[in-house]
Structure 1
Amino acid sequence: MEMKILSDSDDRVVRRIRMLTLHLRGADQSSTDMAEEGPRNLAPVPCARANRVSVITSELSSYMRGNHRDVQERIFQFFESRPDLQTPVSISMEDHRELCMRQITAIVRDCGIRPFRHLFDDPDKYFAIMEAVGAIDMSIGVKMGVQFSLWGGSVANLGTKKHKDKYFEGIDNLDYPGCFAMTELFHGSNVQGIQTTATFDPNTDEFVINTPNDGAIKWWIGNAAKHGKFATVFAKLILPSLSTESNVTADMGVHAFIVPIRDMDTHETFPGVEIQDCGHKIGLNGVDNGALRFSLVRIPRDNLLNRFGDVSRDGKYTSDLPSINKRFAAVLGELVGGRVALAYSSMSVLKVSVTIAVRYSLLRQQFGPPEKPEISILDYQSHQQKLMPMLASTYAFHFATNYMVQQYAEMKKSHDEFLIGDVHALSAGLKAYVTSYTAKSLSVCRESCGGHGYAAVNRFGSLRNDHDIFQTFEGDNTVLLQQVAGDLLKQYQKKFKGGTFSATWNYLKDSMGSYLSQPNPVTSRWEGEEHLRDPKFQLNAFRYRTSRLLQTVAVRLNKHSKTLGNFGAWNRCLNHLLTLAESHIETIILERFIEAIKNCPDRSTSVVLKLVCDLFALDRIWNDIGTYRNVDYVAPNKAKAIHKLTEYLCFEVRGVAKELIDAFDLPDLATRAPIGLRSQAYTSYTQLVGF
Structure 2
Amino acid sequence: MDNDPTITGGYHTKPLRRIERLSLHLQAPPSSIPTVSPLLSSPCGSSKLLSPVNPEALSEYMRGRHREVQERIFDFFRSRPDLQTPVEISTRDHRELCMRQLAALVNEAGVRPFRYVVDDPSLYFAVLEAVGGVDISLAIKLGVQYSLWGGSVVNLGTKKHKDKYFDGIDNLEYPGCFAMTELHHGSNVQGLQTTATFDPITDEFVIDTPNDGAIKWWIGNAAVHGKFATVFAKLVLPFQGERGGSANMGVHAFIVPIRDMETHVSLPGIEIHDCGHKVGLNGVDNGALRFKSVRIPRDNLLDRFGSVSRDGKYTSILPTINKRFAATLGELVGGRVGLAYSSVSVLKIATTIAVRYSLLRQQFGPPKKPEVSILDYQSQQHKLMPMLASTYAFHFATRHLVDKYSEMKKSHDEEVVGDVHALSAGLKAYVTSYTAKSLSVCREACGGHGYAAVNRFGILRNDHDIFQTFEGDNTVLLQQVAADLLKQYKEKFQGGTLTVTWSYLRESMNSYLSQPNPVTTRWEGEDHLRNPTFQLNAFRHRTSRLLQSVAVRLSKHSKTLGGFGAWNRCLNHLLTLAESHIESVILAKFIESVQSCPDTSTKAVLKLVCDLYALDRIWNDIGTYRNVDYVAPNKAKAIHKLTEILCFQVRGVARELVDAFDFPDHVTRAPIGMTSEAYLHYTQHAGF
TM-score (norm 1): 0.93
Aligned to 2:636: 639
**Superposed displacement of residue 454, structure 1:** 0.3
CA contact (8 A) 2:40 2:376 kept: no
Aligned to 1:444: 441
Equivalent in 43, 46, 50 of residue 43 of structure 1: 46
CA contact (8 A) 2:608 2:650 kept: yes
Aligned to 1:408: 405
CA contact (8 A) 1:54 1:608 kept: no
* 2-structure distance, mates of 1:497, 1:311: 42
* 1-structure distance, mates of 2:79, 2:660: 24
Aligned to 2:188: 190
CA contact (8 A) 1:308 1:327 kept: yes
CA deviation profile, 1:587-611 (whole Å, cap 9, x unmatched): 0000000000111000111110000
Matches for 1:538-557 after TM superposition, within 5 Å: 538-557=535-554
**Superposed displacement of residue 497, structure 1:** 4.2
Structure 2 residue runs of 5 or longer lacking an equivalent are 1-35
CA contact (8 A) 1:131 1:348 kept: yes
CA contact (8 A) 1:516 1:544 kept: no
Matches for 1:571-586 after TM superposition, within 5 Å: 571-586=568-583
**Superposed displacement of residue 626, structure 1:** 0.7
CA contact (8 A) 2:255 2:301 kept: yes
* 2-structure distance, mates of 1:496, 1:98: 54
* 1-structure distance, mates of 2:159, 2:57: 45
* 1-structure distance, mates of 2:229, 2:637: 57
Aligned to 1:510: 507
The Cα RMSD (Å) is 1.1
Other structure's SS at 1:252 match: strand
Aligned to 2:588: 591
1:616 maps onto 2:613 in alignment:
yes
Aligned to 1:665: 662
Aligned to 2:14: none
CA contact (8 A) 2:220 2:287 kept: yes
Given residue 87 of structure 1, which amino acid in structure 2 is its aligned partner?
T
Query: Matched residues, percent identical?
Result: 78
Given residue 213 of structure 2, which amino acid in structure 1 is its aligned partner?
G
Aligned to 2:478: 481
* 2-structure distance, mates of 1:645, 1:584: 24
* 2-structure distance, mates of 1:162, 1:496: 44
Other structure's SS at 1:299 match: strand
1:495 maps onto 2:492 in alignment:
yes
* 2-structure distance, mates of 1:395, 1:24: 25
* 2-structure distance, mates of 1:495, 1:310: 35
Given residue 232 of structure 1, which amino acid in structure 2 is its aligned partner?
T
Given residue 632 of structure 1, which amino acid in structure 2 is its aligned partner?
D
Aligned to 1:329: 326
**Superposed displacement of residue 26, structure 1:** 4.2
* 2-structure distance, mates of 1:686, 1:125: 38
**Superposed displacement of residue 24, structure 1:** 7.7
**Superposed displacement of residue 495, structure 1:** 3.2
**Superposed displacement of residue 509, structure 1:** 1.5
**Superposed displacement of residue 53, structure 1:** 3.9
Aligned to 1:221: 219
* 2-structure distance, mates of 1:236, 1:205: 17
Greater CA drift, 496-505 or 109-118: 496-505
Aligned to 1:259: 256
Aligned to 1:690: 687
Equivalent in 346, 355, 379 of residue 376 of structure 2: 379
Other structure's SS at 2:436 match: helix
Equivalent in 161, 175, 178 of residue 176 of structure 2: 178
CA deviation profile, 1:620-656 (whole Å, cap 9, x unmatched): 0000011111100001111111011111110110000
* 2-structure distance, mates of 1:529, 1:96: 53
CA deviation profile, 1:352-389 (whole Å, cap 9, x unmatched): 00000000000000000001000000000000000000
Equivalent in 80, 84, 87 of residue 85 of structure 2: 87
Other structure's SS at 1:271 match: coil
Other structure's SS at 1:254 match: strand
1:354 maps onto 2:351 in alignment:
yes
Other structure's SS at 1:68 match: helix
**Superposed displacement of residue 259, structure 1:** 0.4
Given residue 215 of structure 1, which amino acid in structure 2 is its aligned partner?
G
Aligned to 1:38: none
CA contact (8 A) 2:590 2:610 kept: yes
Number of aligned residues = 653
* 2-structure distance, mates of 1:671, 1:24: 26
CA contact (8 A) 1:494 1:500 kept: no
**Superposed displacement of residue 498, structure 1:** 2.2
* 1-structure distance, mates of 2:58, 2:174: 41
TM-score (norm 2): 0.94
CA contact (8 A) 1:257 1:304 kept: yes
Aligned to 1:10: none
CA contact (8 A) 2:176 2:229 kept: yes
* 2-structure distance, mates of 1:169, 1:56: 43
Given residue 401 of structure 2, which amino acid in structure 1 is its aligned partner?
M
